[in-house]
Structure 1
């Protein structure tokens, strides 16, 4: 019987998943999703192949579980950051900055490639995690329009346009020492695009 890590089956499962996800994250940075294999991830996680297959029967299941775990953590972080700022423009700045930082930090395939890689049901599970993020942006924009911080415009138009601007990998595909400056410029662009001015105390470079 395999050695139980963490004192219980539940703790063992969580620790194994954490090790596997860390190994997958490292390999996504190094080589990209297409070059990843279950056996390679298992080896880096110091997990036997049989044990790996018990948790994740194929690469698709591994990717979906990883994205769901990352998305849950990210949505909680985003919610906390947005809630900490009182005004809609500050919330939009916080939202945009975190979205761009996440885009720079994560190396998953783009949506169109991911859709082709995964079965439709698996892709829907992954895509569903974008819903609470989009709803946060919609709430920020709607509140900003209602309070007069953002010129009146249809949120159904603004939200996808902002989302598209914040999903452009070219913005953050720069040398590490240039990333903060690139994000600052992109945040300024988003604020200008919605007709808002940065707050006087905003640190946008």
Structure 2
């Protein structure tokens, strides 16, 4: 029977998963997904080579669980930041700032490295997490259109353009926020 290093089995499982996620992020910063083995993940997480299989059957399941974990944390922080902010313009500003700051805190940029190496099913499961974040932006835009603050002719294009504006990390957050808000404004 494996040793439990926490107050409960559930708490132990969460601690092990957190260590595996941290190890996965660190290993992905050093090497490609294909070059990472389950044994390396287990060693980096400080668990036994066979013990990792009690939690994850393979690397793809680690990636999917990792994406779920990171997205949940991101959305929790975003929703907390948006709580109590009424104005659609202010809410979109919060979204933009949170998205730019989150790039420093969350490991959600592995997508390009994983296309072509993950199964269609795993990619689909990861896409569900991206959609959850997109849904927040979609709702913010719809609120802004309803209030008359935003002009959005093509929702999908607008969302893509907003996210494209959030990619350059070398620009000041305030400049990006001002640019996006001005682009959507109905008062030009």
Q: TM-score range by the shorter chain?
A: 0.7 to 0.9
Structure 1 runs of 4+ with >6 Å offset: none
Whole-angstrom distance in 2 between the partners of 1:154 and 1:109: 28
Give the superposition deviation at 1:125. 0.6
1:193 aligns with 2:187: no
Q: 8 Å contact 2:24–2:41 — kept in the other structure? A: yes
Give the superposition deviation at 1:85. 1.6
TM-score, scaled to structure 2: 0.85
Give the superposition deviation at 1:80. 1.8
Specify the alignment match of 1:109 in structure 2.
110
Give the superposition deviation at 1:48. 0.6
Q: 8 Å contact 1:33–1:109 — kept in the other structure? A: no
More displaced stretch, 25-34 vs 39-48? 25-34
Whole-angstrom distance in 2 between the partners of 1:29 and 1:115: 16
SS in 1 for 2:172: helix
SS in 2 for 1:49: coil
> RMSD in angstroms over aligned alpha carbons?
2.3
More displaced stretch, 29-38 vs 124-133? 29-38
Q: 8 Å contact 1:89–1:196 — kept in the other structure? A: no
Specify the alignment match of 2:172 in structure 1.
182
Offset from partner CA, 1:76-114 (integer Å, 9 cap, x none):
211221233211111111111222222344264235x43
Closer, same or farther in 2 for the Cα pair 1:140/1:107, shift >3 Å?
closer
Alignment of 1:1-205 (within 5 A): 1-31=1-31, 33-105=33-105, 106=107, 108-111=109-112, 113-151=113-151, 153-166=153-166, 168=167, 171-172=168-169, 174=170, 182-195=172-185
SS in 2 for 1:19: helix
Q: 8 Å contact 2:38–2:58 — kept in the other structure? A: yes
More displaced stretch, 129-138 vs 149-158? 149-158
TM-score, scaled to structure 1: 0.79
Q: 8 Å contact 2:42–2:52 — kept in the other structure? A: yes
Q: Which runs of 5+ in 1 are unaligned?
A: 175-180, 198-205
Q: 8 Å contact 1:89–1:144 — kept in the other structure? A: yes
